[in-house]
Amino acid sequence: MRYFLRKFGFYAVAAWMALTLNFFLPRLIPGNPVEILLAKMSQSGPTPPGEAKALSAMLGLGHGNIVVQYVDYLGALAQGKLGISVTNFPEPVVNILASTLPWTIVLVGVSTVLSFVIGIGLGALAGWRRRGLVDALIPTTTFLTALPYFWLALLLLYLLAVVIRVFPLDGGYSPNNLPGLNLGFLASAVYHSVLPALTIVISSVGGWLLGMRNMTVTTLAEDYVVAAEAKGLSPRRILVRYAARNAVLPSFTGFAISLGFVVSGSILMEYVFSYPGIGFELLQAVQNDDYPLMQGIFLVISFAVLGANLITDLVYGFVDPRTRQET
């Protein structure tokens, strides 16, 4: 129980720090961001009354001293007031987040799990047959991990959409199939997500593979594996039930750090594919100096990553009882 409380405490602190960081960030903007934003908005149409106040609260730049501003800012966030987007005026930021986040979560989620499973499987094999063919993968995976996500995306796009026209050039679905729960749209979405998913899997599988291989090699030297061998258990059973099961644990802890990398990489990847996810939206916001949208997206990405990490930690606590005893 203590383990879980500590984890909750840690992520509460992390979330609070993300919020506070987000509060201080707009101070880096030269000039008066609220005025700049209002001027921009008024070009696109009438701004709703009270928007100036909401904006300054949300950016943490309202009246009063910094403590008052901070309280106002937290209050605005607590009510879910993230302001209005300049890029998609007058759409509230919350709506934009709600429509783009699912794309990223499904894409990044599915491809991360795929990459994890493939990497762990191959890694265990590579550790088991150390000088076999699978182990020749190691230098290759080192190279793959060093590949920049966006460049790999460019390369895949060039090879599989320009040279050989197998996959679509950009977007998340075909314009003929509007989003909805029908087969045509789902098929089109899956078809459009193949290249983006491939990018993530290729560039992240190496890390899992390498870590799992090294842990398998270490675990195979443990006494309980030798005991299992002495009992005459089949090699397959030893690998799966004795070695791999224990070797996979550190990979779970590595999940936290790697998830941040995957999410970061997917921002650039979405940009290359013009994929309608939150990363692409962030870059559009950057190009239009859309401060409220940028603030909102940073918060959502941070919270999503923190949430995923919390879940991993909780699962890890169930899987490995030893972590719960650690003080």
Partner 1 sequence: MAVSNQPTSPLQPSEPLLAGAAVGSRAQLAGRVVGKGRWAGAWLQSPRLVVGLLLLMVFVVTGIVGPLVVVHPNAFVGPLLAPPSSHFLLGTTQTGQAVLAQLVVSTGGSLEVGFAAGAIATCVSILVGVGGGFLGGRLDEVLALFTNVVLVIPALPLIIIIAAYVHTGGEGAVILVIALTSWAAAARVLRSQTLSVRNRDYVLAARVSGERSWRIVLVEILPNELAVVVSQFIFTVIFAVLTQAGLAFLGLASTNSLTWGTMLYYAENDQALSAGAWWWFVPPGLCIALLGTSLALVNFGLDEVLNPRLRVRGRGGFWSQRLERRERRP
- Residues forming contacts to partner 1 in the complex (CB under 8 A) are 10, 13-14, 17-18, 21, 25-26, 28-30, 131, 142-143, 145-152, 154-155, 157-158, 162-163, 210, 213-215, 217-218, 220-221, 229, 235, 256-257, 260, 263-265, 267-268, 271-272, 282-283, 286, 289, 291, 294-295, 297-298, 301-302, 305-306, 309
Q: Both tokens of residue 56? A: 């300054």
Q: Both tokens of residue 11? A: 């992520």
* Residue placing its CB nearer to partner 1 in the complex, 66 or 286: 286
- State the nearest-atom distance from the C-beta of 186 to partner 1, in Å: 28
* Residue placing its CB nearer to partner 1 in the complex, 150 or 242: 150
- HSE-up (13 A, CA, CB side) for residue 305: 19
- State the nearest-atom distance from the C-beta of 241 to partner 1, in Å: 16
CA 54/CA 90 separation, integer angstroms: 14
CA 302/CA 185 separation, integer angstroms: 30
* Residue placing its CB nearer to partner 1 in the complex, 25 or 186: 25
- State the nearest-atom distance from the C-beta of 222 to partner 1, in Å: 10
CA 246/CA 219 separation, integer angstroms: 7
* Residue placing its CB nearer to partner 1 in the complex, 174 or 312: 312
* Residue placing its CB nearer to partner 1 in the complex, 20 or 174: 20
| DSSP assignments along 144-191, one per residue | HHTS-HHHHHHHHHIIIIIISTTS-SS-SS-TTS-SSSSHHHHHHHHH
Burial per residue of 76-111, b for 16 or more beta-carbon CB atoms within 10 angstroms, e otherwise: bbeeebbbbbbbbbeebbbebbeebbebbeebbeeb
* Residue placing its CB nearer to partner 1 in the complex, 4 or 185: 4
- State the nearest-atom distance from the C-beta of 207 to partner 1, in Å: 11
- State the nearest-atom distance from the C-beta of 183 to partner 1, in Å: 31
- State the nearest-atom distance from the C-beta of 35 to partner 1, in Å: 16
Q: Nearest-CA neighbor of 299 among 102, 59, 89?
A: 59
